[in-house]
Amino acid sequence: MTMMTPAPLDQQQQEDEEMLVPHSDVVEGPQPMEVAQVEPASTVDSQPVEDPPTMKFTWTIENFTRLNTKKHYSDTFVVGGYKWRILIFPKGNNVDYLSMYLDVADSGTLPYGWSRYAHFSLAVVNHIHTKYSIRKDTQHQFNARESDWGFTSFMLLGDLYDLSRGYLVNDTVVVEAEVAVRKVLDYWSYDSKKETGYVGLKNQGATCYMNSLLQTLYHIPYFRKAVYHMPTTENDMPSGSIPLALQSLFYKLQYNDSSVATKELTKSFGWDTYDSFMQHDVQELNRVLCEKLEDKMKGTVVEGTIQQLFEGHHMNYIECINVDYKSTRKESFYDLQLDVKGCRDVYASFDKYVEVERLEGDNKYHAEEHGLQDAKKGVLFIDFPPVLQLQLKRFEYDFMRDTMVKINDRYEFPLQLDLDRENGKYLSPDSDKSVRNLYTLHSVLVHSGGVHGGHYYAFIRPTLSDQWYKFDDERVTKEDVKRALEEQYGGEEELPHTNPGFNNTPFKFTKYSNAYMLVYIRDSDKDKIICNVDEKDIAEHLRIRLKKEQEEKEDKRRYKAQAHLFTIIKVARDEDLTEQIGRDIYFDLVDHDKVRSFRIEKQTPFNLFKEDVAKEFGIPVQFQRFWIWAKRQNHTYRPNRPLTPQEETQSVGQLREVSNKTNNAELKLFLEVAFGPDLRPIPPPDKTKEDILLFFKLYDPEKRELRFVGRFFVKSSSKPAEILGKLNQLAGFAPEEEIELYEEIKFEPCIMCEHLDKKTSFRLSQIEDGDIICFQKSTPLKSEEECKYPDVPSFLEYVHNRQVVHFRSLEKPKEEDFSLELSKQHTYDDVVEKLARQIGLDDPTKIRLTAHNCYSQQPKPQPIKFRGVEHLTDMLVHYNQSSDILYYEVLDIPLPELQGLKNLKVAFHHATKDEVVIHNIRLPKQSTVGDVINVLKTKVELSHPKAELRLLEVFYHKIYKIFPHGEKIENINDQYWTLRAEEIPEEEKNLGLHDRLIHVYHFTKDTAQNQMQVQNFGEPFLLVIHEGETLAEVKERIQKKLQVPDEEFAKWKFAFLSLGRPEYLQDSDVVSSRFQRRDVYGAWEQYLGLEHSDNAPKRAYAANQNRHTYEKPVKIYN
């Protein structure tokens, strides 16, 4: 699955969506290709193949900060018989990130047409904690055009060069590459239906997560049958009806011979194209889709199907130990979220799910009339559904890194799942013991890749036989049980080395492809669920509609297949010119896509084609004369010459080749017909070299109208003055009316329309066949108000530059507000002035405009600066596309003034009250931190009038900087760090000679992957410690400062931490002896740690632990 975006994404979006690209040295403009972190469509898993040759290569880069080359290559290493190397851009490939790629080392010497396929990961190793190494993986088919592939935005340069982060130690960076090379199998000739009996789903752009879910639901026949039985009518449109779109999709999956598109279905969700390119949360999509269907099924014959299939119930209980009191609450579920971390298999997850928690000590349960009591709390299942959907929590929130991480740990799941095991340990006493909860595995949904994106596919056995199938977007392949089960457990695999000389010891290769959702079907319900679904289950109107669609598709295919046998002849006539000029077009003569076209076999003699024309237009063959159109050097398109009698004896195919050097299948002709005084056709006049065919347009300045009035032959030696009477007659003017003549020469890239001298011959004026003469009355008009465009050139200039712009309020970017007709040549000031007039605003400088991103269909993240562009065209262009949308907002101060200001979000921590208030401070960019503090003093409540404030930079619950008062605010970033303002305690103002100011942070310990990991949380603070002061004395002051109750404080432990390693302190230890004196303006690597449990409420977005990227929530609008 690949998602193409021809231009670089805006900075914020680059951070939120991991980008994979071949590297490019272009400084500006789009890179050759950008691809979301996904698995390419050229699947290599079409048949089970031998395990690919794999190896790990470690590259130690010394003197890293002294590298002064833009690109830096590793040594060459060999995998699968191919030479590879790593390419890095130490200062970023035109971005603020380390850029890193896998490169084919010998691409320059390989034979024409070479290709190789590799699944690989690249990593920057963290020297302090390997858990925090940054690793990203992908797969790619390498070829001459794309001989390197990887990550332009691998990791922020700021993180890499920050010595406290642990990536750059002793000026050394360690990079690892794990590469698995596979054989490329022929993707294009593979026929899924022929090989497997099933077809795949086309990828709409980052929708493989949806495709794997839809295939899973489709292969639950009872669900498919229910969808078919949902009432729809022949008047419904699939794009506006979820039931009909799903019926249509399922029908095509059942009866089509090739892969099926999902566009109608996503349209029925109300998704725009941008939505369908967003990788949503699969579990969320599953729930929202089922809820929508459940709602649409209400009041129909299939009402309740979703609940019957997927709904189970569990009981939450709290039971007191010492008194007779029990509280229970029944809840339903459609799927279960199971922990992967710390669990070896599904049974261990279920054990954890029903684990009993004891409520005692500070955490006692308040039992109504019994008061606080020791109790046990847990969950038991009342019943399980026939179709059990298990969501595996492969994605979890890491508080230490403040980001989502993927859990690639090994996690096993059985073919047969017995949920009655150990005497029904998972079941509540109220459960129905007559139901046997023995389940068989039906589907395994897999995620391959990292946390920021990846590829989704599914292993399904539709009839629960031993044969598994892999559904990977458009491709369906037969697979064995090992592929579907064991290879999706995740974890690490030990692989032998195939390349001596590089890390010869065996190494662990992390499997980035692993199961994230399992579907089980209960054995006792198997026959009901795996039922027969045939045409009689499908509504007749749907069958007719879809068969008609198939027939039309087949006709189109046949039409396409036979296209090489036919020529399309497009015939333009005077009637077309009259109809189009002044309405659809103003320049040239005709839009050939809107004229009558004929599809004629290439072998047909042209004279025979003329008979078809005679039938169509009622013009006898002897009165027809055809002209060939020619594209001139100035990009205009005009009738060039009549066909010769000899040419008319040729076949249509031969004639097309003569007339058309671009070798497309079209022949464009102009049909000249002459009429006698009785308006009946007559034979065309003889044409000599002296005769020129001219076309005439009339312009009316008062009405601002341009129209076609006719054509006729003139002698090249004659002068325009000789045809004035004839032109007046065509226009309906008096015979002696004074008129001005202009020649329309070209219109791209700019207008060229020149006055024609009436006394100079046509030959001397270089007038030839097919030229266009525009004319108008020469009577001068009274004023510009009366006529804004007084002559033909000014009118054509206006038409050429006019641009209708659709304006939208930036607050409501999906809703059109109004449209204005503007000129592409309008300056920035012209545009905002006209906009201000439209919205009734006196001061146009208070308007701020934002351009439109044509690819995402969203406003660009950065607004247009005041007079930052010259013309309207510059506002509307987005890389190689042009838009007609602009967003506007009305500011409270003029934009030039605002651009000189910096907006900072500062969190003020009150000295005595337990509260934090966010203030937005807006000051000139040249202001200092001292100015910010002075403004803050006027906004906040101080503990005493003479209190002094300071500004801190807080990140990951650590203080990284105390800002000097003189620092300019222009470069302070409040988007990624928190700016904290606080009063400076009195004791800090009078530091003794031997006093120390130390950092104090809260932390907990997390044991993950057999490693002890320190996780900071809460608000960090600074503390003065005196020489000789013991921990007991320091603790007393900390307890008083934080106001922690004695009982709670007694549980706290205190440690000296250096580089993340805790060294626990005793009450008698002298604290100051541990800390060396350091400059306080920097992130300290040493701090006093307060170890205790984090009782603060978690951040809102951490609640759903299975969300794994910064996504928009799934919405289905219909």
Q: Are 244 and 237 in contact (CB under 8 A)?
A: yes
Q: Are 17 and 5 in contact (CB under 8 A)?
A: no
The reply to whether 753 belongs to the active site is: no
Q: Are 454 and 38 in contact (CB under 8 A)?
A: yes
535 CB-near residues (< 8 Å, 6+ apart): 543
Q: Are 103 and 88 in contact (CB under 8 A)?
A: no
Q: How far apart are the two ends of the chain, measured CA to CA in Å? A: 27
The reply to whether 455 belongs to the active site is: yes
Q: What is the dihedral of CA 520, 522, 523, 526, to 10 degrees?
A: -90
Residue 313, classified by CB atoms within 10 Å of its CB into exposed (0-12), middle (13-18) or buried (19+), is middle
Active-site residue (options: 119, 208, 774, 826) = 208
d(CA 712, CA 720): 13
Q: Are 799 and 586 in contact (CB under 8 A)?
A: yes
d(CA 356, CA 363): 14
How many residues in the chain?
1118
Residue 637, classified by CB atoms within 10 Å of its CB into exposed (0-12), middle (13-18) or buried (19+), is middle
121-153 b/e with 16+ CB inside 10 Å = b?
Answer: bbbbbbbeeeebebbbbbbbbbbeebbbbbbbb
C-alpha atoms less than 13 angstroms from C-alpha of 261 in its C-beta half-sphere: 6
Neighbouring CB atoms inside 10 A of 744's CB total 24
C-alpha atoms less than 13 angstroms from C-alpha of 876 in its C-beta half-sphere: 19
d(CA 957, CA 955): 5
Q: Tokens in use for 541?
A: 């109107």
**Distances from the Cα of 483 to the Cα of 220, 408, 508, 790, 988, angstroms:** 21, 17, 19, 77, 64
Closest CA to 1085 of 159, 164, 130, 160: 164
d(CA 671, CA 572): 6
The amino acid at residue 217 is: L
- Sort residue 94 into left (φ over 0), alpha (ψ -120 to 50) or beta: left
Sign of the dihedral through C-alpha 418, 419, 421, 423: negative
Q: Are 427 and 420 in contact (CB under 8 A)?
A: yes
d(CA 706, CA 906): 62
d(CA 173, CA 177): 13
Q: Tokens in use for 926?
A: 């040249």
630 CB-near residues (< 8 Å, 6+ apart): 637, 638, 639, 640, 641, 770
Phi, psi of 150 (to 5 degrees): 170, -140
Active-site residue (options: 455, 826, 1002, 1092) = 455
H or E element in which residue 122 lies: strand 115-124
Q: Are 824 and 749 in contact (CB under 8 A)?
A: no
Neighbouring CB atoms inside 10 A of 1061's CB total 11
Phi, psi of 687 (to 5 degrees): -120, 125
1009-1022 b/e with 16+ CB inside 10 Å = b?
Answer: eeeebbbbbbbbbb
Q: Are 400 and 1013 in contact (CB under 8 A)?
A: yes
* Catalytic positions: 208, 455
